Amino acid sequence: MKEYLPPNLDVIRPILWDARGLRLLDQRLLPGKEKYLRFTSWQEVRKAIKDMVVRGAPAIGITAAIGMVLGAEKIKAQSKKAFLTSLRRIGEGFKRARPTAVNLSWAVERLLVRAENAPWTSKADLVELLRAEALKIWEEDIEANKRMGALGAKLLPEKGVVLTHCNAGALATGGFGTALGVIRAAVDRGKQLEVIADETRPWLQGARLTAWELKKVGIPVKVIADNAAGFLLRRGQIQTVVVGADRIAANGDVANKIGTYSVAVLARENGIPFYVAAPLSTIDLLTGSGDDIPVEGRSEKEVLYCGGQRIAPSGVEALNPAFDITPAKYITAIITEKGLAYPPFTKNLKILFQD
């Protein structure tokens, strides 16, 4: 059976794709259980993205691209016009699944443009082109991560402790990782690093996923309660902070997992460099500043319950913004596959997109 897998796939594989469909590692069950769920329709894939079976900006972009292909396979159309109308409707469905990470709409748009520009020979031919494009998005993401790793590794100390927030590793990408990719690349090059992972309430991506990944690749990691970061930064127990991003506005403001902003301010207060690692697919030059980035609000149940147990009195409500915005002024540099961007970001991010 043909496997649609990029060649240099990571030891950590959140996405598997073969002729029988798509399988996703259910990240809601980690680290307790490693279980893959199978998906055969685009509606199921959209729900998996919404429900966080798969999460992380590049990973949901790649998954949506594959979901578009699954949807395209089932479109019954005799003309290109009818095909495109159905494909656009599927694309809109994916874009609404999670609004903050721009990689999702970026991947959907890329497939739509591919279909629009292709000649109409048959529906099967067009689906083949889309399949190749989805695979290309996935392969390019892995390459971008490796490149970010090589460039970003130089910024980390020869020996020391790196703080990260949420999970920006292989689980959140096509493979290898953005922020964790930088750390992995630095360790591969002989740097002696330890990682402190913020637990990242309420979904615990740091405690559950980052710690699981780093353990798997043999990098020492300690988990802290989110509110311990300031204390440790002030005590000199952390030398560098590296995080990923869900969307970077044209002025360098960064949307990332809720809690990132507090870490960035505390890092600045204590003179610690704060790096953001993200591929160009995360940079949204059409969004002027962080104020214009849509921030996903999720169910208050995610805050009110922990491990299935209600932790606040009944009748008490919660707020659950899933992301926050870190103003560009707190960011030391942005690590991309095309190079490092330093302030002023409005000028220097644009340069990355020039050939």
Is there a catalytic annotation at residue 246?
Answer: yes
Tell whether residue 206 is a contact of ligand MRU (CB under 6 A).
no
User: Which listed residue (25, 65, 87, 101) binds ligand MRU by CB under 6 A?
Assistant: 101
Tell whether residue 257 is a contact of ligand MRU (CB under 6 A).
yes
Please tell me whether residue 90 adopts helix, strand or coil conformation.
Answer: helix
Contact letters (x/-) for ligand MRU, 309-338, by CB under 6 A?
-------------x----------------
Closest distance between ligand MRU and the C-beta of residue 344, in Å?
A: 24
Which lies closer to ligand MRU via its Cβ, residue 205 or residue 251?
A: 205
Name residue 224's beta-bridge partners.
198
Gap between the Cα atoms of 31 and 80, Å rounded? 45
Return the range that interacts with ligand MRU (CB under 6 A); candidates 154-162, 172-180, 214-222, 232-240: 172-180
Residue found under tokens 């479109």: 75
* H-only helix segments in the chain: 42-50, 57-74, 80-97, 102-117, 123-153, 179-188, 211-216, 229-234, 260-269, 301-304, 345-352
Which lies closer to ligand MRU via its Cβ, residue 171 or residue 238?
A: 171
Closest distance between ligand MRU and the C-beta of residue 12, in Å?
A: 13
Nearest in space to 8 (alpha carbons), one of 194, 152, 173, 128: 173
User: Which listed residue (105, 251, 256, 287) binds ligand MRU by CB under 6 A?
Assistant: 256
Backbone angles phi, psi at 126, to 5 degrees: -65, -40
Closest distance between ligand MRU and the C-beta of residue 318, in Å?
A: 16
Tell whether residue 173 is a contact of ligand MRU (CB under 6 A).
yes
Return the range that interacts with ligand MRU (CB under 6 A); candidates 72-80, 127-135, 167-175, 229-237: 167-175
311, two tokens:
């932790």
H or E stretch at 211: helix 211-216
**Nearest residue to ligand MRU on Cβ basis:** 244
| # residues near ligand MRU by CB under 6 A | 17
Q: Are 330 and 275 in contact (CB under 8 A)?
A: no
Tell whether residue 263 is a contact of ligand MRU (CB under 6 A).
no
Nearest in space to 329 (alpha carbons), one of 269, 285, 286: 269
User: Which listed residue (178, 240, 251, 336) binds ligand MRU by CB under 6 A?
Assistant: 178
Please, what sign has the CA dihedral across residues 100, 110, 350, 166?
A: positive
Which lies closer to ligand MRU via its Cβ, residue 193 or residue 245?
A: 245
Tally of CB atoms within 10 A around 333 = 21
Cα angle 15-244-175, degrees, rounded to a multiple of 5:
25
H or E stretch at 224: strand 221-224
Which lies closer to ligand MRU via its Cβ, residue 127 or residue 181?
A: 181
- How distant, in Å, are the alpha carbons of 87, 171, 222, 258 from that of 166? 33, 11, 13, 9
Contact letters (x/-) for ligand MRU, 22-61, by CB under 6 A?
---------------------------------xxxx---
Which lies closer to ligand MRU via its Cβ, residue 30 or residue 322?
A: 322
Which lies closer to ligand MRU via its Cβ, residue 22 or residue 53?
A: 53
From 246, 253, 284, 324, the catalytic residue:
246
- How distant, in Å, are the alpha carbons of 76, 115, 130 from that of 127? 12, 9, 5
Nearest in space to 169 (alpha carbons), one of 202, 133, 195: 195
Which lies closer to ligand MRU via its Cβ, residue 105 or residue 256?
A: 256
Tell whether residue 198 is a contact of ligand MRU (CB under 6 A).
no
Q: Are 15 and 62 in contact (CB under 8 A)?
A: yes
Q: What residues make contact with ligand MRU under the rule CB under 6 A?
A: 55-58, 101, 166, 168, 172-173, 178, 205, 244-246, 256-257, 322
Annotated catalytic sites, by residue?
Answer: 246
